[in-house]
Chain A
Amino acid sequence: MITVENLTKRYGGFTAVDDISFQVRPGSVVGFLGPNGAGKSTAMRMMTGLTPATSGRATILGQPYRELHNPGRQVGVMLDASAQHPGRTGREVLMVAAVSVGVSKARVAEVLSLVGLTEEEAGRRVRNYSLGMRQRLGIAAALLGEPQVLILDEPANGLDPQGIHWMRGLLRRFADGGGTVLLSSHLLHEVQIVADDLVMIGRGRIVAMGSKEELLSRGGTTVRSTDDARLAGLLEAADVPVTRTGSGLVVDAEPGVVGRVAAEERVVLLELRSGGSEGLEEMFLGLTAATSREGDAA
């Protein structure tokens, strides 16, 4: 369980995290989604006691992070996979953590195989690791103390598509065992694969929150037919709002309503589905556009 209440961080006049509140319950994998600079990492650092909050509070398993007994046993944290000493081998990174957390050498071997790092790879220095391997090492370190809660900042960054699906399986099993997962991402399609629920943040504020299905269905119904212009006219005549997109129509109604109109008027449908990701995607792109700096566009 992760509880965040009115958490705020200000740097001088700049508000990095602005009064965010949410609670992640056990058994769930929640994606913390937002463009770069939205305040995800700052919020996660406040949850783990690395950055003092300006106001508000965050608790893990009902306690402030800094009050936790042996935090490594209760919360697995990975805030930056590349923040590892390049001169240590992967195994040594885990060995040092194992000493501090108080777990055996056998557990180090266990988590290495859990994240799919081979003996040979574990013996290599981190400097020679790809970003994907560093992510796996970071996950291994987070899992080392068999925690109840995972807080992972951009864990899927640098993973290939198989890697992202592997991570979904790993985190899903963790949550099915009663664990709580909060992971951040700046990529919608990535977090859609890995997480079941989303907290969307932009410019330090929560802009949307809920299950993936719920957020996705906000986009209405996507429909494509052999004659979109005619279908749009028919729908508008039936008082159903229609938006024309490049590849069809987005209709603010249930798919059933659209299907009935099409069937009655004998329009051949090529595609009919609930929402699609357009609603979420548009909201996300809007956020990205609003927060990205000029010059980044090139």
Chain B
Amino acid sequence: MSTEMSTDQTLAPVVGGTDDVPTVTALPGRPGVPFGRTLQAELRKMVDTRAGRWMVIVMAAIAVLVLAAFVIWGPAEDASFQGLLELATLPLAMLLPVLGIMAATAEWTQRTGLVTFTLEPRRGRVVLAKALAALALAVIVLAAAVAASALANVVGGTGEWDLTAAAGAGLVLALLIYVLQGVAFGLLFLNTPVAIVSVLVLPTAWSIATAAISALQDAGEWLNLDSVTTPLFAGEMGGKEWAQLGTAVAVWVLLPLTIGTYRVLKREVK
């Protein structure tokens, strides 16, 4: 840290201090903090509160309960590895977006943004770190679900290892899309309850509308996130399916993500 007598010329009236205290200049270096540290901090913030930790515990517990119930009472012939895994990830598809929402909204609902955005003023990097942290956490939860499904398959299932690589990858991709949708809606509304309700209600309302109104049916095929991810779960993606997935993701994930990020960048932190 270098010391000089006076660095910036200003006409602003001086208050306090004396001339003999040396002026300290700013530390050299790029603005903000290294991204790795921001990511680490955001990941930590997702699980260091009761709400965050319980979300993860509840998701894992529901997956385990569903598996146990199915192995005990379900039709034995369906209890293959893929069948069990699909079952275990069903509650995750509902709850993982909430994790993403909570990551995105906490800075504003609890006003912790006052600290977060003074430590890293480049808010875009904080948004990126939040999205990556939510995805990383989803992968960890998913890994737990895979392990639990494998265990259930060995203990009480058919013992069939029938998951194809395409279906496995599709499952991961679909869940990550849902998590990112949660982050996007969280950023868009910056309000936890509104974002949660929107994530649950809006796509459903849209699929009902497309089913009921014949004029919307064609659009529904391309813009219904639930229907376009069905072949993804099944591992049956062709060119048209990928295009449909792309358009639906663009509308339901990328669009809110873009608007939400813009909002966070421009919004006054109070």
Q: List residues of chain A with CB under 8 Å of any chain B CB.
A: 1, 3-5, 21-30, 45, 48-52, 59-63, 65-75, 77, 79-80, 83-88, 92, 95-97, 99-102, 141, 148, 178, 180, 196-199, 209-211
Contact = CB atoms under 8 A, between A and B. Distances in A.
13 contacts: A24-B16, A25-B21, A26-B24, A48-B118, A49-B117, A50-B270, A52-B268, A65-B121, A70-B27, A71-B32, A71-B121, A85-B106, A209-B15
B214 interface: no
Contact of A27 (B8, B18, B34): B18
Contact of A62 (B8, B15, B50, B270): B8
A72 B14 contact: no
A51 to B, nearest CB: 5
A23 B15 contact: yes
B40 A99 contact: yes
Contacts of A1: 7, 23-24
A78 B100 CA distance: 27
Contacts of A25: 14-18, 21, 23
A90 to B, nearest CB: 12
A66 B41 contact: no
Given A60-B26, A68-B31, A85-B110, A30 B118 contact: no
A5 B22 CA distance: 21
Nearest to B4: A62
What is the interface residue range for chain B against chain A?
35 or more
B48 A66 contact: no
Contacts of A197: 15-17
A3 B18 contact: no
Contacts of B11: 5, 21
B122 interface: yes
B111 interface: yes
B269 interface: yes
Contacts of A50: 114, 117-118, 268-270
B215 interface: no
Contact of A178 (B7, B22, B44): B22
B236 to A, nearest CB: 43
A62 B25 contact: yes
Given A28-B16, A178-B21, 12 more contacts: A3-B10, A21-B13, A26-B17, A45-B268, A48-B118, A50-B114, A52-B268, A62-B8, A79-B114, A83-B110, A85-B110, A97-B115
A101 B116 CA distance: 10
A96 B122 CA distance: 17
A67 B120 CA distance: 10
Given A62-B7, A100-B33, A85 B26 contact: no
Contacts of A99: 37, 40-41, 44
A139 to B, nearest CB: 13
B268 to A, nearest CB: 5
A100 B36 CA distance: 9
A197 B110 CA distance: 34
B29 A83 contact: no
B15 A100 contact: no
Contacts of B80: none
